[in-house]
A and B are shown apart, each in its own frame.
Chain A
Amino acid sequence: MILSGLLLVIGLAGFLAASLLALVGRSGRWVRASLAVGAGAAAVSAVQALTVLTGADLATGALAIPGTTAANPLVALALTEDPLGAFFLLVVSVSGAAILIASIGYIDRYVAHGSARLAGLLSLFLISLLLVCLAGTVFTFLVAWEGMTLLSYFLVVHEHRSPETRRAGFLYLAMSQAGTAAILTSLLLLATGSGTGTFAGIARSAPGLPVGILDAAFVAALLGFGMKAGLVPLHIWLPEAHPAAPSNVSALLSGVMIKMGILGLLRVLFELMGGGPEWWADLLLALGALASLSGVLSALAQHDLKRLLAYHSIENIGIILLGVGAALLFLDLGDPALAALALAAALLHTWNHALFKPLLFLGAGAAVGAVGTRDMERMGGLARRMPAVGVGFLVGALAISGLPPFNGFVSEWLLFHSFFGAFATGSVATEMLFAALAGILALTSGLAAYCFVKAFGIVFLGRPRSEPAARAAAPPGTLSAGMGILAGFCALLGVAPFLALAAMHRSLLELTGASLGSGSVVAFPTALPSPGAGVSLPFAPGAVALLLAGMLLVSWALWRLRGVPRRDTVGPAWECGGEPTTARAEPTALGYAQPIEHLFHPYYRPRDRIELGGSEGPGRAGLAPVVGFGREIEEPVRKYLYHPLAGGLLGAARATSRLQSGRIHAYLVYMFVTLVGLLLLLRLVGGGSP
């Protein structure tokens, strides 16, 4: 308790010092020092999270800021040390440290465009993330949340000279403010009747609130936190804002910030309300399935590398949400063991995504920086130019595709097993629901593998598709070092997920009443611990990794069975003996995904754009030569939901503006009418009570 409080103060002071270093120093050396100090502060925060997670006394762990609690309970500022917050703090600080280290090498390209401001804001942004994890009262939470939103907005619009970035930033800010309003509504609804603003106090009284209020609070929380998490159909800011931001910022936004939406949802759903009716769970599952499938389908159609990654964030949030929804449903069905399994899958996937997505974004940043465009069709062959980045991106691609022996496979495996466990619940409807969800999840992970073969293959392999790609220079070593830390964690959690399971042990116990394992780190090659009677988990990640390593040795040995080979003969590709071809004959990102576009045509509804050359071109027999081909795909939700909505909003604004005549006596009349109206409403609703 004292130790962790001390560490917290050191961490916060470190971040503050880091941002001051950058903002005051302003030169390249100071900026690099600032990022290094920030990374150190993040490491301290990670240690703090660990002391909380392994500490003995948790109930007393509230750090109130003196003088604020007594005056008005609603605006009390206090931090708490609960296992869920500490788990997310661990997630944030590990990824944050790695991203800051990587930024040391990455930020040089922004020297002319305020690298000092960028570095300073990064450290401040991490403070806000830290406070969101640790907030113990509604007021603290909202202040931290709003700080996080505003700081992330400034980070997104860092390259504010481009109109595209400004537009993305505005969309993000507008949607964030609507989201915060929804969160405020939800938390205030829950706080009614508790007489306090602390989460602990609300958790005692909230489950007793009338059903209508709980339902309203749930919907508001889902809207608000779902907006931040990038939940379909509230996600449209995400594929705009992430590509527009500098890549190290995208890594933080996508890897870490959108997880705060998940944290908020878990806090409200499980901690404050203590679960909810089945239709909440059904809604979450439906939204999760929608998000995961539509996210990966949209990602497949992209040829903008960072936009592709942004759509994968939506997909992964969907997968996490499937776990959360399943946990809620299993709780309703009275099966805490399965609920713990599903929630463990969701939490593990949250951490996993916080590791491999920054890894991919940093790799993408290196590629984009070297080639000078986000268009994948102009990249290619980069693995030869920047091998370390290529390996890092490959690890991220394998992990996000859910392939063993990396961490993404473990969380998806756990989720599959929680679905499989539903077959023992005895309700046909539940069983069929989870069979369908398992199919969707498997399709999603298969398509993700498809998409990342495309992304890795087109960007890093083959022949360069443009002049800058052929001359691309390797990024500084610190970028590779940051990526290396993240890749190392991807492998570590894939081989020994016990470490993560132990870190989430207390959260699972608190939220579901059951847990996987005892919270201690189980021996390395054994099978995963069972969360309860009737659920067996026949998978030993460490042993499978060992098996794979052994088989690698075998295949190496077979390869050398008939002597050590001579050096490879290197020559032009064979291609069935045809003429040597150029990079123009290479598969394109567009063409690579064509089969899936063909199959899901009703979802994509692509608009083809064929540019025909002028009549003087070398056309044959009156046919104009095709000089360009493009395909534009607009997401259905944008077309059918947001365009009418934005139109309606503007129309309503125009209608309201007619009321504003500018005459004072008219305004007085409005106020009077409103007052009378409110009094009448009170009379009607209140029924005469004071």
Chain B
Amino acid sequence: MKARAQGRPGPSLGQPYRTLVKLLGKDRIRADATSAISRYSARISFAALLAAVPLVPWLFLPGPLGGIGDLIVLVGLLALSRFFLAIQALDVGTSFGGLGSSREMWMGALAEPVFLLVIFAFGGPAGSTQAGVIAARGIALGAAYASPPLLLALVAYVLLLLVETGRLPVDNPATHLELTMIHEALVLEASGRDLALVAWGEGIKFTLLVGLLAALALPWGIPTVWTVPLLAAGAILLVAKLVGADLLVGHLETRVAKWRLFRVADLLALAAVLAFGSLALTYVIGGGA
């Protein structure tokens, strides 16, 4: 889709999955300096992402396992996944790995407060940090849910999404030009099955965060009662929402060029200010609580 917008024909939608299956059947090559960390961390990192999936209400409310953890737990699991990728990159003992690892952790550290503030901005009025409860309030409120503070928080979340998933203008997922890559440098030395899990994990993280966007910003249509037609309608709507959000991100990526690394801090600062502003609006004007 991104390729189409850039005037290229682009690979088919199924291509990434074909690559995945191929890679899953391949053996690994490990660098000679590595320790047990390289042997296991791809799988640990992937598992942490998988564990975060049920914390988002995809198809019904409250989410499948919404009761056992809230969005702060989700942030913790994402950070756990990132931690293991970052130490894996250092394990190889090459300069690119270290470069990518340092940059990734730098962005992660700066993104964390923004994520927290966005959670507070969405969750404050609902009195909960659980995605399911926030979405349920949105459904109950209907159109009145789309208040100005919420829009601010939404913009902040989209900026955060670009940073967290390494999209342009922050990082270019397609680049292999050594000086500009962040995430790619991180996983440069992964191969075979590990590379498959890392690439798949990246896709899961993107879908996860987009799904969260859909649940928080467009909660309507998520069934609150268990009936087959409602679930089916919810599923269709979910796919529509996801595709819509993907199109939005793809469009944003096509419109901007890669930024210098340190401008990412500006972007995150902007997002933090927006989220904080959203909270201030909610409480000063008295729209919430």
Contact = CB atoms under 8 A, between A and B. Distances in A.
A462 B92 contact: yes
B116 A439 contact: yes
B94 A573 contact: yes
Given A443-B109, A565-B28, A398 B80 contact: yes
B215 to A, nearest CB: 15
A401 B79 contact: yes
A469 B124 CA distance: 51
A390 B35 contact: yes
Nearest to B81: A403
9 contacts: A423-B120, A423-B127, A461-B37, A527-B68, A551-B48, A569-B30, A572-B31, A574-B31, A595-B106
B96 to A, nearest CB: 6
Nearest to B33: A463
A460 B82 CA distance: 18
B172 interface: no
Interface string A452-479: 0110111011110000000000000000
Contacts of A453: 83, 86-87, 90, 101, 105
Interface stretch (A174-182, A219-227, A539-547): A539-547
B117 A439 contact: yes
A558 interface: yes
Interface string A565-606: 111111111111000010101110001111110110000000
B189 A447 contact: no
Nearest to B80: A403
A558 B113 contact: no
A8 interface: no
A109 interface: no
Contact of B94 (A417, A426, A566, A581): A581
Contact of A569 (B27, B76, B77): B27
A250 interface: no
A188 interface: no
A561 interface: yes
A380 interface: yes
A303 to B, nearest CB: 14
A525 to B, nearest CB: 8
Contacts of A402: 76, 79
A409 B92 CA distance: 28
Interface stretch (B39-47, B224-232, B251-259): B39-47
Contacts of A558: 24, 46, 197
Given A423-B283, A566-B27, A538 B67 contact: yes
Interface in B77-110: 77, 79-80, 82-83, 86-87, 89-99, 101-103, 105-106, 108-110
A573 B31 contact: yes
B214 interface: no
A435 B67 contact: no
B116 A438 contact: yes
Main SS at interface, chain B:
helix
A272 to B, nearest CB: 35
B79 A403 contact: yes
A9 interface: no
Interface string B61-72: 000011111101
B93 A461 contact: yes
Contact of A555 (B27, B34, B43, B289): B43
B120 A438 contact: yes
Contacts of B34: 461
A585 B124 contact: no
A380 B93 contact: yes
- Please provide the 8 A-B residue pairs with the shortest distance between their CB atoms, ordered closest to farther: A587-B98, A457-B90, A462-B93, A446-B112, A446-B109, A573-B31, A562-B25, A442-B116
A423 B126 CA distance: 10
Given A565-B27, A587-B99, A595-B261, A383 B36 contact: yes
B156 interface: no
Contact of B69 (A450, A538, A593, A598): A538
Contacts of A678: none
A669 B129 CA distance: 72
A507 B72 CA distance: 27
Nearest to B75: A442
Contacts of A538: 66-70, 128-130
Contact of B108 (A380, A449, A554, A573): A449
A432 interface: yes
A404 B65 contact: no
B93 to A, nearest CB: 3
Contacts of B112: 442-443, 445-446
A566 B29 CA distance: 11
B214 to A, nearest CB: 21
Contacts of A569: 27-30
A563 interface: yes
B69 A586 contact: no
Contacts of B128: 536, 538
A424 interface: yes
A591 B24 contact: no
Nearest to A525: B68
B240 interface: no
